[in-house]
Amino acid sequence: MTGILSEGNGARRLPTDWKSDAMQRRIATRYASERRFRAIGLGAIILSAGFLAFLIVSMLGNGLSGFVRTEVAVEFDFPTAPIVIDAATLQGGNADMVLSNANLPAVTSGAAKAALGEDGDSWIGSHAWLTVRDAIKDDPSILERRETLYLPGSADLDLAAKGEASAEAEAAYARLSEAGVIKSALNIDFLTASDATDPTQVGIWGALKGSLFTMLVTLALSFPIGVLAALYLEEYAPRNRWTDMIEVSINNLAAVPSIIFGLLGLAIFLNVMHLPRSASLVGGLTLALMTMPVIVIAGRNAIKAVPPSIRDAALGIGASPIQVVFHHVLPLALPGIMTGTIIGMARALGETAPLLMIGMRAFIASPPGGITDPATVLPVQIFLWSDEVSRGFVEKTSAAIIVLLIFLLGMNSIAIYLRNKFEKRW
């Protein structure tokens, strides 16, 4: 090259030799770098797929057993048992109360001792009498005969069935399964109950309901406020120093660590406004503060992406600015806004730290009835269970993670379905 240049402007350039060795080498290098780039990209995909597969396999491996419990067959001789009950009072609304005072726990442990041996009552769960109560409530006639009921096993027995318990429990499990009185059953209670101190009794329903309420509050606040703020900033606000400052503030807000929002929620919603502690309402408000900037940013980008020719077209036939926004700009921007909302809501669903600050880590043994009731949410419940000493909580923690992931998938599927529905084909 330099040779040609040094000959000055008068010299003719030699015709390019496309077949020369140097040219062939250049082509080979080009192909090699392209292959390298593709290999690296493929590697990145495989690596992330591998991580995802590992996560799913380990969660399912640890967690699926949380949906299964061990049950023990115990025969009850109801006519001779010391049950303090009058069959006539079982009809009507106060059957639960009557049965609660009917000495059922003692009857249950007596029957377990008779059926399973001297230490029989330690192999059934402490809440096994509830199963007996429900059986009587469903069919009071069993009080007049002998009946075999499957009772939930104790935590130790449950662990023994899954091969992780003490030698004593293993031996009892071996003896009982030899006798054929043990079976594994789906643990419906895990999906319908709330937090408890005994790992065999815990359920996810309370936390699931709490998450649902919290997400509803978050969505109801952050979506309309975020979309309207984005619309105002894009379509109406004049461009000046104030709007620049607002833009910078919103961008910064989206990057603030979530625990700071928790402190803000604690300071404003609890200490100043005196809203109920530990409630989904406060959790939702706090998470809405965190989600809103994400929706505003995504919304502004989506609104900016609407072609100006559509605005011109609508203005040109005499649509007012608000008609332009609501008839044309917003529908076209909605898919983009919803993508931002999905990201924001998914982040809010998995958020733990700010909710700890506003007291949602309390032990909540009954599912919340409304947004002002004390509640906890799935990620906080997972955090609490992962901190428990008892071995029985390990599988429950993983099972709760599975429930959280399914909740997340469900929420995102709905959002993606809605987004595709609103997407216009050009």
Which residues of the chain form contacts with other proteins (CB under 8 A)? 238-239, 307, 309-320, 323, 327-328, 332, 424-426
Query: Nearer Cβ to other proteins, position 313 or 409?
Result: 313
Minimum distance of other proteins from residue 330's CB (angstroms): 13
Can you say whether residue 92 is alpha, beta or left, with left for phi > 0 and alpha for psi between -120 and 50 degrees?
A: left
Give the shortest CB-419-to-other proteins separation in angstroms. 16
Query: Which lies closer to other proteins via its Cβ, residue 239 or residue 241?
Result: 239
- Closest contact distance (angstroms) between CB of 232 and other proteins is 16
> What is the enclosing helix (H) or strand (E) of 183?
strand 182-186
- Closer Cβ to other proteins, 53 or 322, answer by number: 322
**416 vs 338: CA distance, rounded Å:** 8
Nearer to other proteins, 175 or 327 (CB): 327
Question: How far apart are CB 317 and other proteins at their closest, in Å?
Answer: 4
Least Å from the CB of residue 319 to other proteins: 6
CA 363 remoteness from chain centre? 19
The dihedrals phi and psi of 198, each to the nearest 5 degrees, come to -95, 120
> Helix, strand, or coil here: 258?
helix
C-beta of residue 81 within 8 angstroms of C-beta of residue 414: no
Count of beta carbons in the 10 Å neighbourhood of residue 276: 16
Rounded CA-CA distance 420/229 in Å is 24
**At closest approach, how far in Å is the CB of 315 from other proteins?**
6
Edge-to-edge order in the sheet of strand 182-186: 146-152, 68-77, 182-186
Nearer to other proteins, 13 or 239 (CB): 239
C-beta of 165 vs 334, nearer to other proteins? 334
Spatial CB neighbours of 21, under 8 Å, sequence gap ≥ 6: none
DSSP string for residues in 19-85: TSHHHHHHHHHHHHHHHHHHHHHHHHHHHHHHHHHHHHHHHHHHHGGGGEEEEEEEEEEGGGS----
Burial of 298 (0-12, 13-18, 19+ CB in 10 A): buried
Least distance from other proteins to the Cβ atom of residue 305, Å: 13
Closest CA to 210 of 278, 261, 259, 266: 278
Query: Which residue, chain included where needed, has tokens 């809103």?
Result: 292
Provide, rounded to whole angstroms, the least separation between the CB of residue 228 and other proteins. 21
Q: Which of 19, 239 has the CB closer to other proteins?
A: 239
User: Cβ of residue 301: shortest distance to other proteins, in angstroms?
Assistant: 19
Encoded tokens for 281: 């309402």
DSSP 8-state class, residue 424: P
Between residues 15 and 238, which has the closer beta carbon with respect to other proteins? 238
